Amino acid sequence: MPRSHYTGLAGQSYDQPAQAGVLLVNLGTPDAPTAPALRRYLGEFLADPRVIEYPRWLWRLILHGVILRIRPARSARAYAHIWTAEGSPLRVGSEKLATALQTELRRHPSGPVRVALAMRYGAPSVRASIEQMQREGVRRLLVLPLYPQYSGTSTGSVIDAVAATFKQLRWPPELRIVNDYHDDPGHIEALASSIERWWAARGRGEKLLLSFHGIPQRYVDAGDPYFRQCQVTARKLQARLGLDDEQLMVSFQSRVGREPWLQPYTDATVRQLAADGVKQLDVACPGFAVDCLETLEEIAMQNRDFFIAAGGETLRYIPALNHGEEQLASLAALILRHTQGWPEFARHPASVG
């Protein structure tokens, strides 16, 4: 018999009662803060054509000939600064969010709902998570990338991974995908409430800097909506917090390579603010659902040092929403809206709280 190209269900799992599934997808993380683990992780991440839009033959030469020989050791040292006894903060925080959201959703839907987590790069993979959910009886699947603002480099890549998985399934589940939630009122309220709660406990700095992850400017020039969506998030958050243009600023972090990325750059901005006389700066990162290397090491450590070296006194990082009550409420409401019409959610309104 010819070998099948499609993956079927194991045993009699298709006889299980149908249920809905919510798959949270985050970027991913290495297995350990070591050069070999970073080489594996970066090899998968940087090989994605959604992330690096260079001719494949040229990029393979650069990636394997230069980058994967140098960057893993440097990245391993950065990860070592934030690694915890539980493991990678992004992995641990994402798992806690999935678990807490599962509990939150059990308070609302009328039928069984399964919440699972996948990483776009590393483990658990999108394919492994979807196949496991299917074995457990998930027949309707909502994919929620944990990227509030859409970019082809992030959400677009998740969609690619989901599509590649579905092409291999003999009986794919019904599918819906949350494209973005950058201007969702519940999300804006969650961000604002979290910042206000943090200020109430610690006082407020002279300025609030919103630092988003950067992407190459040419991606935006080619039609990526990411820059505009970041600006919309920032303006809505500014209005909700009641801040003026002198009190709130926007910048973009994590650039690599020599080509222009979205500006202004975060590292240059914190240096300039310190040089201008700002002594206490608060920084939040509304593009990150869960704290990770880019927030805990790049912002709270590297950019803090840049700020102090340039004459500032204190740079304070305001944590991501993580698995706090604000994020749980906003994501639960978002999920209920995107699953309207599914039997598991049929008895409940499209909003929570």
Which parts are annotated binding residues for Fe(2+)? 213, 294
Are the beta carbons of 199 and 242 closer than 8 angstroms? no
Which pair of structure tokens corresponds to residue 257?
Answer: 């390579």
Distance, C-alpha 70 to centroid of its chain: 26
Rounded to a whole number, what is the largest CA-CA distance in the chain?
75
Distance, C-alpha 164 to centroid of its chain: 20
**Measured between alpha carbons, how far is 71 from 246 in angstroms, rounded to an integer?**
38
Binding-site residue set? 213, 294
Are the beta carbons of 149 and 215 closer than 8 angstroms? no
CB atoms within 10 A of CB 347: 10
Are the beta carbons of 117 and 24 closer than 8 angstroms? yes
Which pair of structure tokens corresponds to residue 287?
Answer: 């593009």
Which one-letter DSSP state was computed for residue 294?
A: I
β-pair partners for 119? 26, 125
CA atoms within 13 Å, Cβ hemisphere of 70: 5
